[in-house]
């Protein structure tokens, strides 16, 4: 696929030959060595210390879906970064939140974004939301070799299904196994605590504002019990990344909007440190 240095600037023939609408298939055929899953790692001794993203949460509401993540990355028992970004737009109507090995996860998201953009340019139409979820599943599966050596990537995928006119959430395991979650979901080290919080507070008729508050409450509870999850950091003005996906597309809440939600929760927690309580019956 390499260009002839004596050519007059023409693209190599591989770029001009009709083929698959998948960018990953294109790379597999012409430059397989640069795909993340095809990298050959030497035998490793001991545990590799690499920054890890931690907790991602999502919740649906009648008009769409909310996807949010904390800002802490850890490396063993150390805080590697306090303001890492873990939630990214995949395209106009979907987003990905990353948990696991941060460097590999960010690279996977960039390749996923390129995959969706390439498909749209070749086919002249966007993939269905389920098709996007399947493509991400394939990419996670290709990282299985890395995962077996302790470098796993376990994202959470959410988007607005324009055909069904509702928000949807997909979770994954390290083998690429895909599951659709109903109502809410969480992944990462603090997911068990975040899921427990949402289980008691979630309802199907949430408004958008209530859904954004719910996910920040869940992240707060996760940070309360999981040292790898970072809560709102008022002193450094670091707040969770909160995104909303509706029929109008992807939108990330501004820092002012996120801080307003976080500060209101912190004020209430001064009176109720364990957070809001659900009714017993």
**Catalytic residue positions?**
54
Token pair of 37, please? 């899953």
In whole angstroms, give the CA distance from residue 97 to residue 108. Answer: 11
Beta bridge mates, 59: 66, 184
SS (H, E, C) the chain: CCCCCCCCCCCCHHHCCCCCCCHHHHHHHHCHHHCHHHCCCCCCCCCCCCCEECCEEEEEECCEEEEEECCCEEECCEEEECCCCCEEEEECCEEEECCEEHHHHHHHHHHHHHHHHHHHHHHCCCCCHHHHHHHHHHHHHHCHHHHCCCCCECCEEEEEECCCCEEEEEEECCCCCEEEECCEEEECCCHHHHHHHHHHHCCCCCCHHHHHHHHHHHHHHHHHHCCCCCCCECCCCECCEEEEEECCEEEECCHHHHHHHHHHHHHHHHHCCCCCCCCCC
């Amino acid at each position: 696929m390499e260009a002839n240095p004596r050519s007059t600037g023409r693209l190599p023939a591989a770029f001009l030959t009709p083929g698959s609408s998948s960018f990953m298939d294109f790379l597999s055929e012409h430059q397989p060595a640069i795909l993340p899953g095809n990298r050959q790692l030497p035998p490793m001794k001991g545990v590799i210390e690499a920054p890890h993203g931690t907790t991602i949460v999502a919740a649906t509401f009648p008009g769409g879906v909310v996807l949010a993540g904390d800002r802490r990355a850890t490396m063993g028992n150390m805080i590697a970064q306090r303001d890492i970004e873990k939630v990214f737009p995949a395209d106009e109507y979907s987003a990905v939140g990353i948990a696991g090995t941060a460097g590999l996860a960010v690279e996977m998201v960039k390749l996923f974004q390129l995959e969706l953009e390439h498909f749209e340019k070749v086919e002249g139409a966007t993939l269905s939301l389920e098709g996007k979820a399947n493509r991400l599943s394939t990419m996670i599966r290709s990282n299985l070799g890395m995962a077996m050596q302790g470098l796993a990537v376990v994202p959470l995928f959410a988007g607005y299904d324009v055909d069904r006119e509702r928000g949807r959430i997909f979770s994954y395991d390290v083998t690429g196994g895909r599951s659709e979650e109903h109502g809410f979901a969480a992944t990462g080290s603090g997911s068990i605590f975040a899921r427990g919080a949402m289980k008691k507070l979630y309802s199907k008729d949430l408004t958008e504002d209530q859904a954004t508050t719910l996910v920040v409450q869940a992240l707060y509870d996760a940070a309360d019990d999981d040292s790898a999850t970072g809560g709102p950091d008022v002193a450094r003005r670091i707040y969770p990344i909160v995104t909303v996906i509706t029929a109008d597309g992807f939108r990330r809440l501004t820092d002012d909007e996120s801080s307003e939600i976080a500060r209101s929760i912190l004020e209430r927690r001064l009176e109720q440190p364990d957070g809001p309580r659900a009714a017993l019956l």
